[in-house]
Amino acid sequence: MTAARLSVHDLAKTYDTGTRQVHAIDKLNFTVEAGELLCVVGPSGCGKTTLLRSIAGLLRPTSGRLEVDGQPVDGTPPGTAVVFQEYGRSLFPWMRVADNIALVLRDNGIRSAERRERVREALDQVGLADTARAYPWQLSGGMQQRVAIARALAYRPRLLLMDEPFAAVDAQTRADLEDLVYRLWRDLGVTIVFITHDIDEAVYLGQRVLVLSAEPARVREEIAIDLPAERDQLATRADPRFIELRTQIQQHIRDSGR
Amino acid sequence: MTLRTVLWRLVTWFGLPVVLVAAWWFGSEGSRSFYWPPLTEILRTFTQLWTPERWAADVLPSLGRLAAGYAAAALLGVGIGVAIGLWWRLRAIAEPVLEFFRAIPPPVLVPVIMLFAGIGDGMKIAVIVSGCVWPILLNTVAGVRAIDPIQRDTCAVFATRPLTRLRRLVLPAAAPHIVTGMRQALSIGIILMVISEMFAAHSGLGFAIVQFQRGFEIPEMWSGIILLGLIGVALSGAFALAERRVLAWYHGMRRAEGSR
Amino acid sequence: MTSAPRRTARLTYGLAGVGCALVLAEALPRMGIVDPRHLPPTSRIAAALAAELGRSGFWLAVADTVAAWAQGLAIAVVAGVACGVVIATVPGLRAVTASTIEFLRPIPSVALIPLAILLLGTDIRSTLLLVVYASFWQVLVQVVAGIHDIDPVAADTARAFRLSAPQRIWHLALPTALPYVLTGVRLAASVALVLAVTAELVIGAPGLGQEISVAMTAGAVPRMYALIAVAGVLGVAVNLAARGTEHRLLRWHPSVREEATA
């Protein structure tokens, strides 16, 4: 049996804010299979972002360990891409869109011709083929987030982490971006860990949903989403099973303490 | 752009200066005062005095030294500034000492530099560096420290190499601050260029002006002062043009944000 | 928020840095790596400084420098604020004066040195000419920018509610313009000290700069270094005082304070 793409064992993170100690995560355990789309929800401030940053190697866990494809990892797991919530700040304003995407391909021994090809392909996949020469600040918020997604895709990541990526865009743009992520996941088979506070979004996108407890975060519940593979913003969200699942999750979150 | 707007722009831009120059011209017309010769005489002296030979002998060496000192200060200031900005320990060690040295008025260091470097070109360039390096260094530190943590996280996650990070993240992100420092350094550099020549020199613009003053050659002195002013303005203008190109992305971004 | 361990670490590193610098400055000349005629050991400089501190002439010189700095700064601030307010409030004046200001501003104040020597001689008036000329522009530019930054909607509201002129100034003009003005004063204070000491050094007006010049011609190197160190201390004092006042004044006006915390 092949090892899971990502295994998290007994992950714990405590940090010091200068005035008090915060136990953000306590003995978190879960796995993500290759090609899976896992959503993580939890009450506000429960440590979801701390979890993602720990997996991404931006924070050192206080204890516990991570394994990618069976190999233990220290720091950023190789082949990990992140899409941050603050799209406006994660793209570099002094570079054009194409250069922003090409930047992450630079140090991996990829020749410039192939770099250009990957950039073009990634922009095609997110529907922004003609923005290559634009600067990020010339684009709308939704388009900037698409560029961030394109950058992650061009990287051909083994693991894609998304930290509440659509929390800062308007509802209509969010619906379009959700469908984009779902379609890309279906077409490319990327392994995705998707953090969100929006329960509807988690049920809409995920194959499985992890519900975290309040701080210190633990896995409170793991729910398999047995909705049909074809997702549609209107039809799926009206599906009785969808409503059942989201109510279940909301109940868990409410019970886990505010 | 209509003819009316063009005319309006010309009037507002040149209006007051023309009035002031005219006032100076006519006000000093028949002047017999020793220290305030007529503007016509000053301008006549200007064209007679500042020949191409004089330029080559006095003005170009001064500007050359300014360029050398400014470039050296930029390299030092940015280099050290980036290091201090990135490593908090280095900053903690260096900060008190740097705060003291940068508070010393640069001209006061001229005697010290003369001890080490004599009175040649090296001394003058060292004086310019000693004054110009501070605004560049301090602004570079501020710029590096102000780099958005999300941008740093992006580079960390996507495993960019340190040299790539320096070229594509640190320097461009800090560029607005660095340019501010370089603008301040330019004014300081011009001042120190002149002062270093007032102390001990055989040639140079500052040297020439002091010679005129000591020899009571008043119209020549005035012409020198005017030339110095013109050079200051010209360098300032050149800097503004260069800045607009280098920071085009920054100005574009600010405009886009302002209109949102 | 920096944690307590981080803050103590920074303090220790800072002290280590200062200590290292002092040790180097003492050791290098003694070991002959640096010519002790160019850089005397710190102990000798400290001794010269102690001698200076006991000399009334030294304190007079410091007083002269501080007096020139203070007077020049005061004149520059008053003139800068007055001209800035007029230029910013009289409609059209800003556009008309823009080119003149942009032309005069970059002219180095040292260009005035020969003029000052001829016209005003070698007393404090020469120093003041240089100090005021250089500091004035710092204040003027900031005041104009500050008043220009006043929210036009808020200004209209104030007028609609028929607020009196003093009320408009207190609630509207002051909070917006104050940070700019204080930045201008801070920059001007720094520039004023540099020009004051420069004028004394080059022209020979009474003050710290002139003492340094005398020490230089007399070849009294430790004394020269000691006086330069004093100039540095003055510079640090001016920087700290300016930043402290800025901090204090900005926290005192209620609406500015609210904005700062928002």
**8 Å CB contact between B223 and B49:** yes
Query: Touching check for B109 and chain C: CB below 8 Å?
Result: yes
Are A116 and A212 in the same domain?
A: no
- Tokens matching residue A186: 């279906």
Residue B78 lies in a domain: yes
Distance of alpha carbon C133 from alpha carbon C131, whole angstroms:
6
Q: Can you read off the two tokens belonging to residue B254? A: 């600010």
Whether complex ipTM tops 0.85: yes
Scan for tokens 């320990």, then name that residue: B89
Domain membership of residue A86 (yes or no) is: no
What is the spatial distance between Cα C202 and Cα B204, in angstroms, rounded to a whole number?
Answer: 17
3-state secondary structure C2-35: CCHHHHHHHHHHHHHHHHHHHHHHHHHHHHCCCC
Question: CB B17: neighbour CB atoms within 10 A?
Answer: 15
Residues C123 and C21 in one domain: no
| Boundaries of domain holding A23 | 6-79+158-256
Name the residue with tokens 């500091």.
C135
User: How many structural domains comprise chain A?
Assistant: 2
Same domain, C26 and C148: no
CB-based contact (8 Å) between B105 and chain C? yes
CB-based contact, B172 to chain C, within 8 Å: no
DSSP bridge partners of A80: A159
C173 in Cβ contact with C150 (< 8 Å)? yes
> Quick check: is B226 in a domain?
yes
Looking at the structure, tell me whether residues C23 and C121 fall in a common domain.
no
CATH number at residue B111: 1.10.3720.10
C85 lies in the same domain as C29: no
Q: Are A165 and A55 found together in one domain?
A: yes
Contact B140, B77 (CB under 8 A): yes
Full residue range of the structural domain in which residue C22 is found: 1-36
Q: Give the pLDDT mean for C147-154.
A: 80
- Joined together, the tokens standing for residue B78 give 């940015």
Q: What subunits touch chain C, counting only 3 or more CB pairs under 8 A?
A: A, B
Instruction: Report the residue of chain A nearest B173, measured CA to CA.
Output: A94
The dihedral through the CA atoms of C151, B259, C260, C189 has a sign that is: negative
The pTM (predicted TM-score) of the whole model is 0.87
Spatial separation of the C-alpha atoms in residues A194 and A209, rounded to whole Å: 9
CA distance B241 to B238: 5
Q: Are residues C103 and C124 in the same domain?
A: yes
Q: Identify the DSSP state of A217.
A: B
Count of domains for chain C: 2
pLDDT at C258: 46
Q: Does residue B145 surpass a pLDDT of 50?
A: yes
One domain for residues C29 and C133: no
> How many residues can be counted in chain C?
262
When divided into structural domains, chain B yields a total of 1
Instruction: Compute the nearest-CA separation of C53 from chain B (Å).
Output: 19
**B30 found inside a domain:** no
pLDDT band at C259 (very low <50, low <70, confident <90, very high): very low
Residues C124 and C150 in one domain: yes
A145/A247 same-domain check: no
Pairing of strands A37-41, A208-212: parallel
Burial level of B255, CB count in 10 A (0-12/13-18/19+)? Answer: exposed
> Distance (Å) from the C-alpha of residue C166 to the closest C-alpha of chain B?
31
Other CB atoms within 10 Å distance of the CB of residue C206: 19
Q: Does C31 lie in the same domain as C62?
A: no
Reported confidence tier of residue C254, pLDDT bands at 50, 70, 90: low
Residues C175 and C251 in one domain: yes
Say if B245 falls within a structural domain.
Answer: yes
**Per the CB < 8 Å rule, is A57 touching B157?**
yes
Same domain for A71 and A163, yes or no, is yes
Return all residues near B93 (Cβ < 8 A) that are at least 6 apart.
C13, C14, C16, C17, C20
Of C40, C56, C15, C68, the residue nearest C228 (C-alpha)? C40
User: What is the pLDDT confidence band of residue C260, given thresholds at 50, 70 and 90?
Assistant: very low
At C108 the pLDDT is 81
Q: Residues C12, C63: one domain? A: no
For residue B17, being part of any structural domain is answered with no
> Which residues form the domain of B241?
62-255
List the CATH number of the domain containing C222: 1.10.3720.10
Query: Can you give the pLDDT at residue B45?
Result: 86
Q: Whole-number mean pLDDT of chain A?
A: 89
Give the Cα separation of C70 and A14 in Å (integer): 53
pLDDT at B117: 86
**Distance from the B68 Cα atom to the nearest Cα atom in chain A, whole angstroms:** 29
Give the model confidence (pLDDT) of A106-156 as tens digits: 888 888 899 999 999 999 999 999 999 999 999 998 999 999 999 999 999
Which of A58, A86, A137 shows the shortest C-beta gap to B157? A58
Whether residues A39 and A145 fall in one domain? no
